[in-house]
A = this chain, B = another copy of it.
């Protein structure tokens, strides 16, 4: 059975080939790449040898098969992934602006990912579960919020903790209930895996460090925060301790999925009881390798590859 259960969207990504390319005019696109934040997280955790199950819904089409095949190849338990007959596998289109920002078009809430129901959440999945991992990006509709809350209750009842990545998508925050659901799950989590933008959403007007201190002071069950800072590395925090972690050099080809890979590596290291400093190095290495490949899961790495990378690569200096 699964020690980590993930729940949410299994998508494919279709990516603009050139920086500055618009989604408003014909151009060269690349894909389909298996994607979806919970799926990327599950895949990276499985590559590190963790027993991981993903609860998700796909269409009965080639895009769904592409995602399923990838997850199976990498060792993710896919029995809880349901094919929806009359819906199409979700798709995220992404284009990259010259300033580094990304623009998205999603077929998600109305497509197969939005069809997840309570019946898809088999209580037996949580028998040996240590952590339910939830992505804020999956809380995209009232229906998804209800199903994921149900999964969180089952996980809690089975003695598992909640690992939560707020993964805030500004375009989703205007939907009813989404912002509140993200805030609530952040308050209930044992492990929090935010970005600086996520912290600014949860506690506006504070520095990341101050926000993390506030979260640790006000959420008694919160064990630790692993702040993902992209090209600036990361920051680990528990009560009374903050550990900045320097980044590894990386040639950024595609940033999608890097934070998910870093978070998954952090959670597996913690589950396995790896030394903290090694866990943090491996998590940053997973992020660096993830951005170096085009496609959100194409840079996911098994443990041996991460180990070799940190053995032969010097971290960059810590900035600010």
Measured CB to CB, the residues of A under 8 A from B are: 14, 17, 22-33, 59, 61-63, 65-66, 69, 86-89, 91, 103, 105-107, 109-111, 175, 295, 298
Task: Name which of A30, A33, A110, A175 has the most chain B CB atoms within 10 A of its CB.
Answer: A110
Within the complex, the shortest CB–CB distance from A140 to chain B, in Å, comes to 11
A33:B28 contact, CB within 8 angstroms: no
Asked, given contacts A14-B29, A30-B29, whether A62 binds B23 with beta carbons under 8 Å apart, the answer is yes
Copies of this polypeptide in the complex: 2
B22:A26 contact, CB within 8 angstroms: no
Residues of B within 8 A of A105 (CB): 59, 61-63, 88-89
Residues of B within 8 A of A175 (CB): 86
B28:A32 contact, CB within 8 angstroms: no
B29:A66 contact, CB within 8 angstroms: no
Per the bound structure, the CA–CA distance linking A29 and B26 in Å amounts to 10
B62:A22 contact, CB within 8 angstroms: yes
A24:B66 contact, CB within 8 angstroms: yes
A31:B32 contact, CB within 8 angstroms: no
Instruction: Tell me which of B14, B17, B61, B69 contacts A14 (CB under 8 A).
Output: B14
A65:B24 contact, CB within 8 angstroms: yes
Instruction: Tell me which of B23, B29, B65, B88 contacts A110 (CB under 8 A).
Output: B88
Within the complex, the shortest CB–CB distance from A175 to chain B, in Å, comes to 8
Residues of B within 8 A of A103 (CB): 62
Within the complex, the shortest CB–CB distance from A70 to chain B, in Å, comes to 10
Within the complex, the shortest CB–CB distance from A71 to chain B, in Å, comes to 14
Contact sample, A vs B, 16 pairs, CB 8 Å cutoff: A14-B29, A17-B28, A23-B62, A24-B63, A24-B66, A26-B32, A26-B295, A27-B30, A27-B31, A29-B29, A62-B103, A86-B175, A88-B107, A88-B110, A107-B111, A110-B110
Residues of B within 8 A of A89 (CB): 105
Per the bound structure, the CA–CA distance linking A191 and B303 in Å amounts to 65
Within the complex, the shortest CB–CB distance from A244 to chain B, in Å, comes to 36
Q: Can you add 16 more A-B contacts, CB < 8 Å, to A24-B69, A29-B30, A61-B105? A: A17-B28, A22-B62, A23-B32, A23-B63, A23-B66, A24-B62, A24-B63, A24-B65, A26-B295, A28-B28, A28-B29, A62-B105, A86-B109, A88-B110, A91-B107, A107-B107
Residues of B within 8 A of A59 (CB): 105
Residues of B within 8 A of A295 (CB): 26
Residues of B within 8 A of A31 (CB): 26-27, 29
